[in-house]
A and B are shown apart, each in its own frame.
Chain A
Amino acid sequence: MGDRETGVVTLKVNGKEITVREGTLILDAAREAGCHIPTFCYQATLSGVGSCRMCLVEIEGQRKLQPSCVTPVMSGMEVKTESESVISARQAMLEFLLSNHALDCPVCDKGGECELQNMVYTYGPRKGRYAEVKIRHHEKDYVLSPVIVKNSNRCVQCMRCVRVCGEVVGRGVLGAIGRGAHQEETSFLRSYLDCDHDGMCIEVCPVGCFMRRPYRYRARPWDLRGSRTVCPYCATGCRMTIEERDGEVVRSIAREGEGFNDKMLCARGRFGYDILNSGGEERLTTPLIKKNGMFEPVSWEKALSIIREQFTKADPRRLGGIASAALTNEELYLFQRLVREVLGSGNIDSTSRWDAATTGAFIFATGITGGGVSIYDCMEAETVFVVGGQVSEENPVTDYIIRYVSDSSRKSVLVASTRAMKLDTSAELSLRHLPGRLGALFNGLVLTLYEDNQERLEGIKEIGVLKGRTVTDLAAECGVSEADLRALCARLESSGSISMVVGTDLLRFREGISGLRLLGDALRALGKVLKILPVLDRCNQRGAWDMGVHPLFGPDYRKVERAGLGCDGMLDQAMDGAMDALYVVGEDVVNMYPDRTFAEEALSRVGFLVVQDVSLTDTARMAHLVLPGAYPGEKEGTFTNQEGRVQHISRLLEPPGQARVDLEIIEAVGSSIVHGFSDGTPQTVFDEIRREVSMYRDAAFSGGSPDGWLVKKSARRLEGFELIEEKKVSLDADPEHPYFLVTGNHIFLSGSLSRRSGILNELVREAVVEISEEAAGELGVIDGQTVSVSGRGFDATYSVRIRKGTPREVVFIAENFEDKAANRFYKRGDVVPRVKITA
């Protein structure tokens, strides 16, 4: 029995006395005591099954050996991990596993990093006595998905794949078919999988049973050279290692203990690495200049001298810069120095999708200046409220962490979104609201709290704006039933600690931010411990803001003397013919600005447009001068993820041809105008950041903890975003166009970067429109059917995907398809465009 007073237990492992928390598994206690116990089925993030029996230990006084991965410690226990009977049991287990194992190591992709191989070398019997015929599930390997290939004859039945698929990914498409030695872990009747294709089953498989299809027979682990980086496909910021052989990147892999995400990666992270190999015509390898409407190669010297000439002669107010939030902190920091100090302009932005005042208010409301918040700390709260985004698809690994932590610790998860999502099944309460109505939802929650706690909330003066409103009409306004709204509120009210996981819908719909602030204030006034985790889609969005790539504040959220223009303002000014020059780095404005026609027209009126990118994007095509930049795998630097976690990325490959690392280009552009602008390395620029940005003062550039480093609270207060005006989003009936269009990232894609990955494109062969079951019924269409979607001014055909649980009137098109870009449905100023669908 544990010591009830202290909650700790003292036991002996191999004679060594240790004290651990009550409920600790013997396996973990032994590892703490420095005794390694081999395992197959055990995975820290998964439920225990105790099936592989590799972890058997001897406990004094118990006749049979016990599986240490499912047995909790008890006070006074004496555990032996290396006794004679334990050693012989391990050997026997391995002999059993090998009796039906294919033993085809010479042709198995896992050879060299196989847990079974390693285990047999370390603990195994040197010979097997099994002489009978082995069970073979099939003769040839079979394909389960464009990225997964399967060989069941190598299976050790550890069930990691089945558990990870259900408990972490939340799909549950794998099962254990048959029993005993005949059991096979596979999909339904070995059919092609319809799942997240994230390859989590591959990553957890200890043997060569689940394999990466694109990596098949490509290399041996010892042939690979790797470099540690961060996935560039969303702001979850998963750590991973990309590995190359003979100059070609052949896989990316996440390993336990090498980052906060352990083995977790989504399809984009695990299979989108091949953008680094997409050389050829796609990749820009030399600066290009437009002459008579055609691009011609030009030398760097010439390109830089043209830039100097054009940038220096322009009026600073008629100049501007847009840098993608997928650049490193060092590049973004130097970029804003270039725009502000060298070009003397305040016109700068890091996104073309959201307007500057809204992003400022979002930063203020989510408390980003308050420092980093780890997702695991957020998950410590009693209740986790996921709102304002499609986490399951936009940030898959954030979804995985929320799922596995909440499911295993029985936390209450609440979801409010416009569309059905995978996380619904882990939620205690999940409700759907109308797009552009988050303000009403938040206000409804605040008003409900106010009704119950008038006295305690009287001090919050903004609640005054809700006087005269009723919960009933706010619920109706956001399209949620009053009972659901009240139930959601009751759950928040009864929790002592709450974490809100807030997505980018607030930025897309430009509303709900004041409501979020008010809800935060009300919950804090009620004594709740509140944490907010912003969920962002560009890998270094938070870093871009920290570095001051924003027209309304500088690095460290320092107030700027004279506010400049954001992307929207710059395009507006360009429309009036008043932009002499614009420097765009990595951002595909044409495909991302919510009104493609407007963006194209505005950019065509810019006097001198320089676009720096890795390939000829639709924006680059419009440029006068194009500069070839680099992918994350080709440069060194740091990214700051949505939690505020600063992580180092290292360089694996050199940029091809004359392409250069963006940092060097920005330095060269700056130095061509002002001598001695900067000639630093990523490390020295980072040192400059540490001096200039208080949040990064103690950050380490590289090294340090594998989990990265969380930024500290800013020494400054972000000013000017306390109160913002929000326009009410119009959702008036339009019988001609009965559906509301919602956009975001596709689960397999991120921005336009991932469209260059051949492997990811195999997962999404065509542009998809997602509609509700009810709408499908009304239209008489089935999954996969082609329909035409028309808005006011654009129409295109899409393949239908039916989503159960999405409200009837909501349809979704991802922002990632250039040829059928969702932003074509927008007219400037539109927040929720209307569309019509015809079968």
Chain B
Amino acid sequence: MLSEKVKEEIRGLFKKYRTKRSACMAAMQAVQREVGHLTEEDMREVAEMLGINPVRVHEVGAFYTMYNVQRPVGRYHIQVCTNLSCSLLGAEHIVNVIERRLGIKVGQTTPDNKFTLSTVQCLGSCGTAPMMQINDDYHEDLTEERVVEILDGLE
């Protein structure tokens, strides 16, 4: 169930677009910000509000890695770029470091529900590779030490 607050936010988005359906991406982001991921029920409700079939919402969600469709994530969602530039500069090592530190594999969430680890395609920060995104923040020019420091610094 979408909260009244999210629904209100989505209704507010309609003013920004020529058609309701154009608000699809922003609406999904609004839901995800509150819930952390998108459930089947949420996608149906968003579709209902936008006046489109739920499959249209799922299409968008499945296309972009930033949407967690039917995939609950921890409080901190770590997305490590493993595209070309980052890989050349050691992204795979970074992934290994995180896996060891948190005791989980890519795609998994820690038992305390604090961290989820994902690998993603290019996040457009090749100049500062290797890099990762944790929730909405970019962490760049990563080294093993830096990664450990960042992870330990999170509440």
A residues near B, CB below 8 A? 171-179, 186-189
Contacts and interface: CB of A to CB of B under 8 A. Distances in A.
A176 to B, nearest CB: 6
Contact of B40 (A177, A186, A189): A189
Contacts, number: 32
Among A172, A173, A186, A189, chain B packs the most CB atoms within 10 A around the CB of: A189
Contacts of B52: 172
Nearest to A186: B55
B106 to A, nearest CB: 17
B90 interface: no
Contacts of B63: 178-179
A177 B56 CA distance: 9
Interface range, B side: 10 to 19
Interface string B49-89: 00011111011001100000010000000000000000000
A171 B62 CA distance: 20
B55 A173 contact: yes
Contacts of A175: 53, 55-56, 58-59
Contact of B58 (A171, A172, A179, A188): A188
Nearest to A804: B51
A186 B59 CA distance: 10
Nearest to A195: B53
A179 B60 CA distance: 10
A190 to B, nearest CB: 10
Nearest to B59: A175
The B interface, classified by DSSP as helix, strand, loop or mixed, is helix
Contacts of A188: 43, 53-55, 58
Contact of B62 (A172, A174, A179, A187): A179
Nearest to B51: A425
A187 B43 CA distance: 13
Given A172-B52, A188-B55, 6 more contacts: A172-B55, A174-B55, A175-B56, A188-B54, A188-B58, A189-B70
Contact of B53 (A172, A178, A179, A186): A172
Contacts of A174: 55
Contacts of A179: 62-63
B28 to A, nearest CB: 14
A173 B55 CA distance: 6
A187 B57 CA distance: 11
Interface string B21-54: 0000000000000000000100100000000111
Contacts of A171: 53
A341 to B, nearest CB: 57
Contacts of B55: 172-175, 177, 186-188
B59 A176 contact: yes
B94 to A, nearest CB: 24
A175 B59 CA distance: 6
Nearest to A177: B62
A175 B54 CA distance: 9
B53 A177 contact: no
Contacts of B70: 189
B110 to A, nearest CB: 27
Nearest to B61: A177
B45 to A, nearest CB: 13
9 contacts: A172-B53, A172-B56, A173-B53, A175-B55, A175-B56, A178-B63, A179-B63, A188-B53, A188-B58
A179 B59 CA distance: 9
Among A177, A179, A186, A188, chain B packs the most CB atoms within 10 A around the CB of: A188
Contacts of B62: 177-179
A790 to B, nearest CB: 32
Contacts of A186: 55
A189 B56 contact: no
Kindly list the 10 A-B residue pairs having the minimum CB-CB distance in the complex, ordered from nearest: A175-B55, A188-B55, A175-B59, A188-B54, A177-B62, A178-B62, A172-B53, A173-B53, A179-B63, A188-B58
Contacts of A176: 59
B89 to A, nearest CB: 24
A188 B42 CA distance: 13
Contacts of A187: 55
A553 B52 CA distance: 50
A172 B52 CA distance: 8
Nearest to B63: A179
Contacts of B54: 188
Among B53, B55, B56, B62, chain A packs the most CB atoms within 10 A around the CB of: B55
A447 to B, nearest CB: 34
A189 B58 contact: yes
A732 B139 CA distance: 72
A786 to B, nearest CB: 24
A34 to B, nearest CB: 39
A309 B54 CA distance: 66
Among B52, B56, B58, B70, chain A packs the most CB atoms within 10 A around the CB of: B58
Nearest to A425: B51
Nearest to A172: B53
Contacts of B58: 175, 177, 188-189
Among A172, A177, A178, chain B packs the most CB atoms within 10 A around the CB of: A177
Nearest to A174: B55
Contacts of B43: 188
Nearest to B65: A179
A608 B27 CA distance: 69
A188 B70 CA distance: 12
A188 B45 CA distance: 13
